[in-house]
Amino acid sequence: MDFQVGVIAGDGIGPEIVAEARKVLDCVGSKFGHVFRYTEILMGGCSIDATGVPLTDEAIAAAKASDAVLMGSIGGNTSTSPWYKLAPELRPEAGLLKLRKELNLFANLRPAYLYEELKAACPLREDIIGEGFDMMIMRELTGGLYFGARKTEQVDGVTVATDTLTYSENEIRRIAKRGFDIAMKRRKKVTSVDKANVLDSSRLWRKIVEEVAADYPQVAYEHMLVDNCAMQLVKDPKQFDVILTENMFGDILSDEASMVTGSIGMLASASLNDTKFGLYEPSGGSAPDIAGKGIANPIATILSAAMMLRYSFDLDKEADAVEAAVRAVLKQGFRTIDIMPQAGETRDGIVQVGTAQMGDKICENI
Ligand code: NAD
């Protein structure tokens, strides 16, 4: 099949890591008989330099015309880059926020997977880690507290700040369906996280999730209060498959879950709308401190491309092949600098490689 992929290489290490993800996609294409065609899209600091704004209307149109978008990262050094002397709406990040809104990307997916070979980077005890864990945090991205009405005012001479947490049943239903669909492609378990003992929005969340769950009899589901979930993530992360939650809870829990996996260079992410379309990007930033050195870890971006194969193109076999190749490369001992053993750990059989070499090794294993 033919797929049109919009590519936002972006700033810093973005172009280096995206080049490796494209290399891997092309390798998948030749092995499985698909053609991936790429449209380069400018966004972030590079767009500011070229056009004066972080995202042009042409760039938005190009993204919308694609089957999915693969992104590196945007932004520069926030203390020294001239981009950060601009007004907030003209800075690199404004481009990404605008793109997410334009594309209606309401479902954010962040997998947290612990590789056997990188267990030492996990801050949890060996007996807690056990055979490792593999979960997917599904966070609602366009509603809730971050988008509700807010104000700061004087009341009887005292400053009072108010934020509002609003969810409609439609917003909850569409993310819940996405969560259960994703669970069907995984181990068929959903943990819906809320604060239903306190919040009305959470009680509605629970009611709608139960309605959606009725349409997925093969998926086991449970409700969990967010404070308990925060504890369970460090007490017994193996219990989770898909964690389905609202915007703010997901923001916090996804960072907690990624922290327990170790390296930022390994963490993929996807943001989806209600069609097959998605924006796929590594969880890390543009890492200006290592940009241009050829040492950045491309695995998070390569795994984001694998998510694109799975969730936008329904190419599960191909996505499995990429994920298996990443595991194989780690098993063979190849590491970029960020996932090299720490002081005191054995380096036997470990070979440090650069960004492009890591991409090559993954292709060899596909
Ligand atoms: P960062 O994630 O870019 O870097 C934090 C640390 O992690 C750095 O030491 C960096 O070298 C390392 N790192 C990150 N990705 C890596 C990789 N693939 N391989 C090896 N090491 C890696 O976070 P920051 O320094 O706070 O932000 C830098 C810029 O990135 C800022 O402009 C920020 O706004 C932007 N940012 C962009 C996105 C995005 O594009 N979605 C996300 C987060 C931050």
d(Cα 285, Cα 264) in Å, to the nearest integer?
A: 9
Tell me the per-residue pLDDT of 227-242, one tens digit each, with 9 for 90 and over.
Answer: 999 999 999 999 999 9
- 99 Cβ contact partners less than 8 Å away, ≥ 6 residues apart: 43, 55, 59, 60, 63, 279
Lowest mean pLDDT of 82-91, 190-199, 292-301, 336-345, name the range: 336-345
> In terms of DSSP bridges, do strands 150-155 and 158-163 run parallel, antiparallel, or are they unpaired?
antiparallel
d(Cα 256, Cα 151) in Å, to the nearest integer?
A: 29
Q: Is 119 a catalytic residue?
A: no
Tell me the per-residue pLDDT of 60-72, one tens digit each, with 9 for 90 and over.
Answer: 999 999 999 999 9
- pLDDT of residue 266 exceeding 80, the answer is yes
In 88-245 the beta strands, taken as DSSP E runs, fall at 107-113, 134-140, 150-155, 158-163, 189-194, 220-225, 242-245
Q: Is 146 a catalytic residue?
A: yes
d(Cα 295, Cα 278) in Å, to the nearest integer?
A: 28
Catalytic residue, from 195, 241, 280, 338: name it: 195
- pLDDT of residue 264 exceeding 80, the answer is no
Q: Among 264, 326, 340, name the best residue to mutate to test ligand 1's pocket (greatest count of ligand atoms within 8 A of Cβ).
A: 264
Atom of ligand 1 nearest to the CA of 71: 40
Q: Is 167 a catalytic residue?
A: no
Q: Which residue bears the tokens 């890492």?
A: 287
Which pLDDT does position 284 carry in this prediction?
A: 87
Q: What is the dihedral of CA 289, 293, 295, 299, to 10 degrees?
A: 80
Sheet holding 68-73, edge to edge: 35-40, 2-10, 68-73, 278-282, 268-272, 107-113, 134-140, 242-245, 189-194, 220-225
d(Cα 55, Cα 94) in Å, to the nearest integer?
A: 8
Which pLDDT does position 91 carry in this prediction?
A: 95
Provide the residue type at 159 as one letter: T
Q: Is 26 a catalytic residue?
A: no
Q: What percent of the chain has pLDDT over 90?
A: 87
Which pLDDT does position 88 carry in this prediction?
A: 87
Catalytic residue, from 49, 227, 314, 316: name it: 227
Instruction: Choose among 204, 247, 226: nearest CA to 100.
Output: 247
Catalytic residue, from 84, 98, 119, 146: name it: 146
- Burial classification of residue 243, based on how many CB atoms lie within 10 Å of its CB (0-12 exposed, 13-18 middle, 19 or more buried): buried
Query: What's the gap in Å between 284 CA and the centre of ligand 1?
Result: 5
Tell me the per-residue pLDDT of 292-306, one tens digit each, with 9 for 90 and over.
Answer: 999 999 999 999 999
Binding-site residues, ligand 1, Cβ < 6 A: 13, 17, 73-76, 78, 93, 96, 264-265, 281, 284-290, 296-297, 300, 338
- 156 Cβ contact partners less than 8 Å away, ≥ 6 residues apart: none
Mean pLDDT across 272-299: 95
Enclosing H/E stretch for 39: strand 35-40
Mean pLDDT across 33-40: 98
> DSSP assignment of 223-253, as one string?
EEEHHHHHHHHHH-GGG-SEEEE-HHHHHHH
Two structure tokens written together for 232:
């369970």
Catalytic residue, from 49, 200, 236, 255: name it: 255
Which pLDDT does position 147 carry in this prediction?
A: 86
Average pLDDT over the chain reads 95
Q: What percent of the chain has pLDDT over 70?
A: 100
- pLDDT of residue 119 exceeding 90, the answer is no
Query: What's the gap in Å between 140 CA and the centre of ligand 1?
Result: 23
Phi, psi of 5 (to 5 degrees): -110, 120
> In terms of DSSP bridges, do strands 268-272 and 278-282 run parallel, antiparallel, or are they unpaired?
antiparallel
Mean pLDDT across 14-38: 98
Two structure tokens written together for 238:
């193996």
pTM of the model as a whole: 0.91
Atom of ligand 1 nearest to the CA of 338: 20
Q: Is 360 a catalytic residue?
A: no
Atom of ligand 1 nearest to the CA of 337: 20
